[in-house]
Amino acid sequence: MTFTARHLLGLEGMSREEILYILDTATSFREISEREIKKVPTLRGKTVIGFFYEASTRTRMSFEIAAKRMSADFISLSAGGSSVSKGETLLDTARNLAAMRPDGIILRHPSAGAPHFLAQRVDCPIINAGDGAHEHPTQALLDLLTIREHRGTLDGLKIAIVGDILHSRVARSNLHALRALGAEVRLVGPPTLLPRELRAWAEVTHDLAEGVRDTDVVMTLRIQRERQGANFFPSLDEYARYFCLTQSALRGAKPGVLIMHPGPINRGIEIASDVADGPYSVIMEQVTNGVALRMAVLFLLINRSREADMPEIEAAPEPALHRKAG
């Protein structure tokens, strides 16, 4: 297939084929990061702007490393150090950036829909790096990539997502993509963070043990400390008592259950350290895969003449279990 999307705004509505194509492309890029010289010339001469209205470590670094390993020039801009602090609107800032002819703008913004807003008004591919509580498509895609590497397929897998679904863009993107790929999703958390309308999308439970029973994968979400003051739950301690992913809570899961977390982790709150660092945790693999996945996304969206450049990259192989370098 050919990948024709101009922007990556979200995973809602993205087809199984498109998602798999991105994952296949990412898989083929994984080995670049294992090389002695971690650089290919694929995006040489391309300019990518990372525009971050919100704090970010992983996503920002991951995009930057991905861009640089593809030989793109990556320029990073944060709201605090830009004209945003002088009151310039998002649209004006973006128009000015676009006028400098970048090949792509990666946007993280606290308002849901901000990347969609820009995509309609700025002549430049927009990659959503997280918009409010809406979507975080590259995070979900790297989650899928990680699961697929271990399980070979997403079809029929039972996957629990635990935590603050209401405010989570990671959960939304994952819900759309996991369902598109045939996984069965369960959502676990207190009712205050699990609106009833979610039942239209997935199975919902407020019991952690029940939620993780027979699952192949458990994703826990970061609980934001400021939610405590807003009475979504009484205290972090009480939240942890009910929803912290511990060894004992995982007893009912399938053997070899994959433990995932998008980071940053609150140890002892949503996930126990021995689980986060335990043998089933693939949290660091998620981070590693993030680079390959973002290389793939940049490649597919920014490299307009990619067919000509393809020889530098191996054709995407079959999804493989734990491909070892070599």
Q: By CB under 8 A, is residue 203 in contact with other proteins? A: no
Candidates 190-198, 205-213, 258-266, 304-312: pick the segment binding other proteins (CB under 8 A): 190-198
Given the complex with other proteins, which of 13 and 255 has the nearer CB atom? 13
Sign of CA dihedral 79, 85, 86, 87: positive
Nearest approach, Cβ of residue 230 and other proteins (Å): 9
Strands 104-109 and 203-205 come out as unpaired
- Applying CB under 8 A, among 70, 133, 147, 221 the residue interacting with other proteins is 133
Q: Is 135 in the site for other proteins (CB under 8 A)?
A: yes
Which DSSP string do the residues of 22-82 spell out, in sequence order?
HHHHHHHHGGGGGSSS---STTTT-EEEEEESS--SHHHHHHHHHHHHTT-EEEEEEGGGS
Binding part of the chain for other proteins, among 113-121, 232-240, 254-262, 293-301 by CB under 8 A, reads 113-121
Nearest distance from residue 124's CB to other proteins, in Å?
Answer: 17
For the segment 204-233, give every residue that binds other proteins (CB under 8 A). Answer: none
Q: In what order do the strands lie in the sheet with 104-109?
A: 73-78, 47-52, 104-109, 126-131
Binding status of residue 198 toward other proteins by CB under 8 A: yes
Determine if 169 is a binding residue for other proteins (CB under 8 A). Answer: yes
Under 8 Å between Cβ of 175 and 161: yes
| Min CB(87)–other proteins separation in Å | 12
8-27 residues near other proteins, rule: CB under 8 A:
12
Contacting other proteins (CB under 8 A), which of 195, 234, 264, 317? 195
Choice between 65 and 166, CB closer to other proteins: 166
**C-alpha–C-alpha distance, residues 30 and 35, integer Å:** 10
CA distance 141 to 77: 24
The whole-angstrom separation of Cα 168 and Cα 133 is 5
Is residue 222 within 8 A of residue 245, CB to CB? The reply is no
**Who contacts 280 (Cβ-Cβ below 8 Å, separation ≥6)?**
256, 257, 258, 259
Cβ proximity to other proteins, 123 vs 155, nearer residue? 123
Q: Quick check: 310 binds other proteins (CB under 8 A)?
A: no
Out of 114, 160, 217, 295, the residue judged to bind other proteins by CB under 8 A: 114
Number of residues that bind other proteins (CB under 8 A): 25
- Interface residue with other proteins among 15, 83, 96, 111 (CB under 8 A) is 111
Minimum CB distance to other proteins smaller for 116 or for 206: 116
Considering only residues 158, 172, 179, 294, which one is a binding residue for other proteins as defined by CB under 8 A? Answer: 172
CB of residue 92 to other proteins, shortest distance in Å: 10
| Phi-psi group of 115: left, alpha or beta (phi > 0 → left; psi -120 to 50 → alpha; rest → beta) | alpha
- CA 141 – CA 59 distance, rounded (Å): 13
Which residue has tokens 């199984």? 16
User: Which residue number, 23 or 193, has a Cβ lying nearer to other proteins?
Assistant: 193
| Residues at the contact surface with other proteins, assessed by CB under 8 A | 12, 89-91, 109-114, 116-117, 121, 131-135, 166, 169, 172, 195, 197-198, 200
